[in-house]
Amino acid sequence: MCSLSSEITPTTVDVDTVRSKINDDSLRLIDVRREEDYNQGHIPNAVNLPLASLLSGDSPESVVKLVEDMGIADDTKVVVYDDTFGALASRVTWTLQYIGHKNVALLEVTYSQWKELGLKTSTEKPNIKPAKHSLNLNPDIMATAEYLENAKEKDNVVLIDNRERLNFLEQHIPGSINIPYRTLATDGKILRTKESMRNLLKNRGIPEDAEIITYCGSVGTLSGLAYYALKSIGIPNVKLYVNSFKEWKKLEKPIGKQENAAYWDLSAE
């Protein structure tokens, strides 16, 4: 699962593999935290791509430009990390795959966990030589509102909402099921073990050959993590509804709700 040279891209890369390749020019580490956090320390040789910068102009062409500026060529191996339980890193990873970058994966831990393991960090910015990257859109991994609306009526399509339970109860896309993003992690790793992920789906009655579409609140971060949790156990057909519930509401599409219960009042927040 952890070999970076493998043809089939793994979902996550383990700490040891990254540690041993930190100085390897064929590997590009992307830190997606905010610039000020990055400046205070990051994994050595990592480049900074705050998610906000990516989202500010995420036309495929501008993403290609960003990728090239980070010195990423078509065959560069890329590993992405964050400090937000893997959700922001997932969204960046997904975007790279969407523009056609094949060899990209998530670091299996967050930056905090990396530090807790006592591993090296640095405040130095690496010298990057811009590279050339092609654009080969991969539309199969993306769902639009229109696509989702049609697909969710079909058999063997499962729509998963990855927001927290109370948000889901209050409003959701009709027909979706709720797997809160916190369900996807395990102690010390951003994703569950494969066995427990399979077990979760089995309990929920989600067939592994289903087409699964994930969504969350606004830009596809929490659901991006779910995308990779599903990919990690080899689910072939997963799509991210990247504009998520925010767009769905704006488009005034139908909304489902758990009625007649004051569940918010159980929250101690």
Partner 1 sequence: MAQQLRPSKSASKKPKIDWSRREEADNFARTVKLYRQGKIDHDSFRRFRLQHGAYGTRMTDDYAMVRIKIPAGQIYPYQLEKIAQLSEMYSIGSAHVSTRENIQLHWVVLEDVSEIMHGLADVGLTSREACGNTVRNVMCSPLSGVCNDEMFDATSYAIATAKFLLRNPLNQTLPRKFKFNFSCCEKHGMIRIADVGLIPQIRELDGKKQRGFKIFLGGGLGNKSFVGYQLEDFTPEEDLLYTSIAVLQIFDRMGNRKNMARNRMRYLVDEMGWDKFQNLILKQRTIVRATQSVIVRLNINQKPNEIKRPISISSENGSVPDGYARWLKSTTYKQKQEGYSAVFVTLEAGDITANQLRAMAEITMDFSAEGFARNGFSQDIILRYVHESDLPRLYSRLLEAGLANSGSLTMASAVGCSGTSSCNLALTNSHRLAKEIQRKFLELKLDEDDDLSDATIKISGCPNSCGQHDIATIGFFGGGARVGKDMYPNYSMSLGGRFDDKTMLGVTCMRVPVKRAIPVILKIIELFKKNKQPDDTLSRWIDRIVHDNESSEIKSIKDMKKILSPLVIPPSKADDPDFYSDYGTDTSYHTITGKGECAA
Q: Which residues of 195-226 are buried (b: 16+ CB within 10 A; e: fewer)?
A: eebbebbeeeebeeebbbbbbbbebbbbbbbb
Residues interacting with partner 1, by CB under 8 A? 164-166, 169, 177-178, 180, 182-183, 199-200, 203-205, 258-269
Tokens representing 12 are: 């996550």
Alpha carbon dihedral 246, 249, 254, 258, in 10-degree steps, equals 70
What is the Cα–Cα distance from 9 to 1, expressed in whole angstroms? 8
Q: How far is the CB of 191 from partner 1 (least distance, A)?
A: 13
Reduced to 3 states (helix: H, G, I; strand: E, B; else coil), residue 69 is helix
Nearer to partner 1, 139 or 188 (CB): 188
Of 20 and 196, the one with the shorter C-beta distance to partner 1 is: 196
Smallest distance from partner 1 to CB 195, Å: 12
In the complex, minimum distance from the CB of residue 108 to partner 1, in angstroms, rounded to a whole number? 18
> In this complex, which beta carbon is closest to partner 1, that of residue 151 or of residue 166?
166
CB 233 within 8 A of CB 12: no
For partner 1, give the closer residue by CB, 144 or 178: 178
Shortest approach of partner 1 to residue 107 CB, angstroms? 22
Considering beta carbons, is residue 124 or 195 the nearer one to partner 1?
195
Exposed/middle/buried for residue 190 (C-beta within 10 Å: 0-12, 13-18, 19+): buried
Rounded to 10°, the helix 87-98/60-69 angle is 110
Given the complex with partner 1, which of 149 and 164 has the nearer CB atom? 164
Minimum CB distance to partner 1, residue 5 (Å): 35
CB of 130 to partner 1, least distance (A): 42
Phi then psi dihedrals of residue 210, to 5 deg: -75, 155
Query: Which secondary structure element, helix H or strand E, spans residue 60, and what is its range?
Result: helix 60-69
* 3-state class (DSSP) for residue 211: strand
